[in-house]
């Protein structure tokens, strides 16, 4: 069944497809109001994109906490090399305040409509309970993943981020799962690297070492299909993890 959010996403992609090749607008944000001079300066086709983007933005569960410099919004980034809908047209969630960190991004194409909807659905339906994992995700972590801009990582990654940092390793990427596909990538530069990977494997996560760079590892959650199952796996990791391995660094998880 097509949800209102998926329908709004499809309308946005259709509006992008109708843009003329000579249109050179590089960025358009959902916050752009029709009363602003910037909106009036847009072409008719680009105004349609801006309106469609704002409609989708209204349907997304985005964080808005102005007092703490958080106002997530949708932004469309277009490539000057290819003005047709493709992987070069990027839809992203970013914070329009503070550090203007990136939250999430997808290629703006029809194939990604379900993924955008699932990401939003996971945000809406995940219930906060009383576990170390849940306590960690009450905060918003903005980190430097060496991609040129700071990133607000999924709140569900906060617990793992703490573990990896306290094992003196460096997280390089990851996803909390939407709902499946949760993974964490980190660099084994710390003294507890192998103990950390062994512990992930012991609690049921799959561990993959990079063949060319053995110090880089990816750990993946067992396959799940629902938000409830995903959250249960994260709570199991938090419950069953052997925190004694962190004593080697003199630190414990908060």
Question: Region 167-193: what's the mean pLDDT?
Answer: 89
Q: For position 1, what pLDDT does the model report?
A: 66
- Does the pTM surpass 0.75? The reply is yes
Would the pLDDT of 254 be above 70?
A: no
Helix residue ranges, H only, 22-167: 37-40, 44-59, 113-125, 132-136, 158-166
Question: Region 10-28: what's the mean pLDDT?
Answer: 82
| C-beta separation of 241 from 203 below 8 A | yes
Would the pLDDT of 41 be above 90?
A: no
Confidence of residue 26 (pLDDT cuts 50, 70, 90): confident
Q: Is the torsion defined by CA of 40, 41, 42, 44 positive or negative?
A: positive
- pLDDT tens track for 199-208: 999 999 999 9
Distance CA 148, CA 113 (A): 27
Question: Whole-angstrom distance between the N-terminal and C-terminal Cα of the chain?
Answer: 42
Instruction: Look at residues 179, 83, 67, 78 and name the one whose alpha carbon lies nearest to residue 124.
Output: 179
Q: Is the torsion defined by CA of 200, 239, 153, 205 positive or negative?
A: positive
DSSP letter assigned to residue 225: -
Distance CA 214, CA 200 (A): 17
Instruction: Look at residues 198, 207, 206 and name the one whose alpha carbon lies nearest to residue 241.
Output: 198
Q: Is the torsion defined by CA of 194, 196, 202, 207 positive or negative?
A: negative
Would the pLDDT of 37 be above 50?
A: yes
Q: For position 175, what pLDDT does the model report?
A: 95
More confident residue, 23 or 15: 15
Residue 57: CB atoms within 10 A of its CB come to 19
- pLDDT tens track for 219-248: 999 999 999 999 999 999 999 999 887 775
Distance CA 231, CA 226 (A): 9
Would the pLDDT of 178 be above 50?
A: yes
Would the pLDDT of 251 be above 70?
A: no
Q: For position 83, what pLDDT does the model report?
A: 45
Confidence of residue 34 (pLDDT cuts 50, 70, 90): confident
- pLDDT tens track for 113-171: 999 999 999 999 999 999 999 999 999 999 887 666 789 999 999 999 999 988 888 88
């Amino acid at each position: 069944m097509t949800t209102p959010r998926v329908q709004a996403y499809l309308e946005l992609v259709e509006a992008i497809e109708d843009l003329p090749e000579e249109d050179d607008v590089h960025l358009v944000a959902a916050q752009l109001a029709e009363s602003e001079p910037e909106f009036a300066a847009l072409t008719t086709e680009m105004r349609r994109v801006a309106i469609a983007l704002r409609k989708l933005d209204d349907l997304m569960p985005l964080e808005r906490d102005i007092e703490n410099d958080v106002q997530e919004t949708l932004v469309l980034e277009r490539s000057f090399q290819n003005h047709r809908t493709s992987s070069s047209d990027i839809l992203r969630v970013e914070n329009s305040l503070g550090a203007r960190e990136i939250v999430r991004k997808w290629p703006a194409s029809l194939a990604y409509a379900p993924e955008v909807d699932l990401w939003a659905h996971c945000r809406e339906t995940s219930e906060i309970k009383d576990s170390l994992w849940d306590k960690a995700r009450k905060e918003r972590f903005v980190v430097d993943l060496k991609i040129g801009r700071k990133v607000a990582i999924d709140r569900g990654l906060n617990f793992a981020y703490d573990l990896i940092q306290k094992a003196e390793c460096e997280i390089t990427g990851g996803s909390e799962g939407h709902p499946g596909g949760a993974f964490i990538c980190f660099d084994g530069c710390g003294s507890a690297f192998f103990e950390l990977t062994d512990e992930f494997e012991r609690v049921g996560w799959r561990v993959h070492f990079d063949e060319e760079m053995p110090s880089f590892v990816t750990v993946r959650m067992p396959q799940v299909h629902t938000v409830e199952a995903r959250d249960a796996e994260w709570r199991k990791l938090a419950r069953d993890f052997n925190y004694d391995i962190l004593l080697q660094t003199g630190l414990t998880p908060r």
